[in-house]
């Protein structure tokens, strides 16, 4: 079994990696597992990729283990790409973030509210090899939040079929989510490296 560090203290995220990559002979470790939960890495990058790389590189250097990190958010065209890398810091709570986003788009007609969820996953190996995969979900920012099966900006991203991400079942969401898509691209490479 190959040890692989997921640069996160989020138990839900680690579980997601374990489930989606269950067929790989990989022992998924959290920052707690390797005693690095105290180590903070500031996300100072101006792209999702830069932030994912910052985290993966710092924790790889500290742990000497192959290390995965991700960064994600919502990119709204009518706001010049905002909130983008600031998605998680856009307002204190998810509810407030969604309200703020809808307020920022007041008066913008639905067809011009194009937006996407973007997730970038970076895998940094101790021998200076890096693999980066990006996944996207395209949609529009709705006129109001809808749906309860999700978190973050899920209730405000309306897909082509008219449902928001928060109106999908968990299985549907795993299949089309931005992180799910990035992971699906990473999977054959992980299989090759560690399988």
Closest CB to its own copies among residues 36, 121? 121
Structure tokens at 107: 């008066």
Q: Quick check: is 71 catalytic?
A: yes
Rounded least distance, CB 134 to its own copies, Å: 4
**3-state SS class at 182:** helix
Closest CB to its own copies among residues 39, 129? 129
Contact 44, 54 (CB under 8 A): yes
Nearest residue to 84 (alpha-carbon basis) of 144, 41, 39, 43: 43
Q: Which of 23, 46, 70, 71 is catalytic?
A: 71
Closest CB to its own copies among residues 36, 120? 120
CA separation for the pair 44, 37 (Å, rounded): 19
Rounded least distance, CB 149 to its own copies, Å: 27
- Give the residues lining the site for its own copies (CB under 8 A): 127-136, 185-186, 188-189, 191-193
Helices (H), the chain: 11-20, 48-63, 94-104, 170-176, 178-194
Rounded least distance, CB 192 to its own copies, Å: 3
Which amino acids are annotated catalytic?
Answer: 71
């Amino acid at each position: 079994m190959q040890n692989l560090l997921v640069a996160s203290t989020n138990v839900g995220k680690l579980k997601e990696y374990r489930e989606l990559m269950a067929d790989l002979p990989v022992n998924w470790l959290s920052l707690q597992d390797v005693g690095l939960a105290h180590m903070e890495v500031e996300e100072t990058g101006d792209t999702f990729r830069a932030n994912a790389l910052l985290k993966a590189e710092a924790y790889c250097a500290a742990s000497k283990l192959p290390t995965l990190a991700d960064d994600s958010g919502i990119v709204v065209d009518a706001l010049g790409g905002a909130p983008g890398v600031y998605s998680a810091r856009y307002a204190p709570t998810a509810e407030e973030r969604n309200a703020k986003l809808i307020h920022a788009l007041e008066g913008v007609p639905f067809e011009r509210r194009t937006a996407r969820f973007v997730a970038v996953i970076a895998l940094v190996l101790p021998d200076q090899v890096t693999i980066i995969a990006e996944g996207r979900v395209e949609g529009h920012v709705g006129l109001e939040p809808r749906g309860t099966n999700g978190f973050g900006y899920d209730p405000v991203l309306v897909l082509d079929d008219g449902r928001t991400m928060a109106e999908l079942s968990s299985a549907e969401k795993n299949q089309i989510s931005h992180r799910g898509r990035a992971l699906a691209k990473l999977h054959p490479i992980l299989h090759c490296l560690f399988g």
